[in-house]
């Protein structure tokens, strides 16, 4: 019973929620980018390449001492260029989205890992100064919020959230901004129409190709910021191979969520909680239960959920994807 008690006690540990929030932030950036592309009718399978490129660009910029915020800006610029090139090939030039996206991922990821291996020269990592946490604990003392923070578990989550790194707060703000633009503005309506009824966009005199290329560039920039966030918040020593596959994970989570911001946020947080939980369980209980809840567990659960929701996911899939 002590083992079960220790396993359940993890949810009352502030460090667990801190880790879950830290794991969720990079994936949420990438999921927002996938959502922007998905709403425009783009299934951008180059997401893992953009994510990896963003991680490497941010890592090298921070390593050179230029500052972490500039590192994220460099990552975003590189991601935007990747998205611009990829969506130009698929929309105006009509190349298949899936094949082109996978080619982008293979090419960009391969080049990034090759460059990284040359730069590290056997050390397997580059040492940087990552983002530090911001103390916003004063927010919990405000009227009404202090009452809410006294509820069971809410206070624990609040302590983790109010001591997070700057990219965590940035992605929360961007989630509201992206959701508002997509759902409440004429530009967002035009972007959504590109995925649902491209002919209606053309009938209004707007360029479907222009909107899709723009959405691809913005979405890919967000994906790259996700990779940069992973590199700049994962500690002073970061290894590029840890970024592999996380872009595809974010894409699947956004697909399951039907390209909706709120649902994507919950899906990403749930995945990050499972990821953080297995790490904490391994630390508390040792290798016996770690064999049961291995690092592959979050991806196994993700696969099961994807298979269980495959029909509804297809119904929500953007039209005219190729």
∠ CA 120-222-44, rounded to 5°: 95
Of the pLDDT bands very low, low, confident and very high (cuts 50, 70, 90), residue 322 is very low
User: Residue 66: its pLDDT value, please?
Assistant: 85
pLDDT at 315 over 50: no
In a domain, 247, yes or no: yes
141-170 confidence digits (pLDDT tens): 665 555 555 555 666 777 778 888 999 999
In a domain, 173, yes or no: yes
User: Residue 138: its pLDDT value, please?
Assistant: 65
8-24 confidence digits (pLDDT tens): 677 777 788 888 899 99
162-221 confidence digits (pLDDT tens): 888 999 999 999 999 999 999 999 999 999 999 888 888 888 888 999 999 999 999 999
52-66 confidence digits (pLDDT tens): 999 999 999 999 988
Q: How many domains does the chain have?
A: 1
In a domain, 92, yes or no: yes
Please report, for residues 9, 19, 48, 230, 231, the alpha-carbon distance to residue 246 in angstroms, rounded to integers and kept in the order given. 28, 16, 7, 10, 12
User: Residue 218: its pLDDT value, please?
Assistant: 96
Identify the domain containing residue 41 by its residue range.
2-120+146-315
In a domain, 133, yes or no: no
Q: What is the pTM of this model?
A: 0.87
Strand 126-127 and strand 237-238: pairing? Answer: antiparallel
In a domain, 136, yes or no: no
**Looking at residue 164, which CATH number applies to its domain?**
1.10.3470
In a domain, 132, yes or no: no
């Amino acid at each position: 019973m002590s083992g079960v008690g220790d396993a359940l006690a993890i949810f009352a540990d502030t460090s667990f929620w801190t880790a879950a929030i830290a794991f969720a932030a990079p994936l949420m950036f990438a999921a927002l980018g996938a959502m922007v592309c998905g709403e425009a009718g783009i299934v951008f399978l180059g997401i893992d390449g953009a994510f990896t490129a963003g991680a490497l660009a941010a890592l090298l910029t921070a390593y050179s001492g230029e500052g972490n915020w500039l590192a994220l800006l460099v990552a975003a610029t590189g991601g935007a260029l990747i998205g611009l090139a990829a969506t130009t090939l698929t929309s105006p030039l009509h190349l298949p989205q899936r094949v082109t996206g996978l080619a982008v991922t293979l090419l960009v990821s391969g080049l990034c890992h090759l460059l990284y291996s040359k730069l590290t020269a056997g050390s397997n990592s580059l040492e940087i100064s990552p983002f530090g946490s911001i103390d916003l604990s004063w927010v919990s003392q405000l009227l009404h919020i202090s009452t809410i923070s006294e509820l069971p578990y809410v206070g624990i989550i609040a302590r983790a959230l109010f001591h997070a790194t700057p990219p965590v707060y940035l992605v929360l703000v961007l989630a509201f901004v992206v959701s508002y633009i997509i759902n409440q503005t004429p530009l967002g309506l035009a972007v959504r129409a590109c995925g649902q009824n491209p002919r209606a966009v053309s009938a209004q005199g707007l360029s479907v190709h222009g909107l899709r290329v723009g959405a691809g560039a913005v979405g890919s920039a967000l994906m790259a910021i996700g990779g940069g966030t992973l590199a700049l918040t994962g500690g002073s020593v970061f290894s590029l191979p840890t970024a592999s596959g996380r872009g595809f994970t974010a894409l699947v989570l956004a697909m399951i969520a039907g390209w909706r911001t709120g649902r994507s946020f919950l899906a990403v947080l749930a995945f990050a909680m499972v990821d953080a939980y297995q790490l904490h369980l391994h630390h508390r209980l040792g290798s016996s239960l770690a064999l049961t809840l291995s690092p592959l567990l979050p991806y196994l659960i993700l696969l099961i959920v994807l298979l269980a929701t495959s029909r509804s996911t297809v119904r929500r899939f953007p039209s005219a994807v190729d």
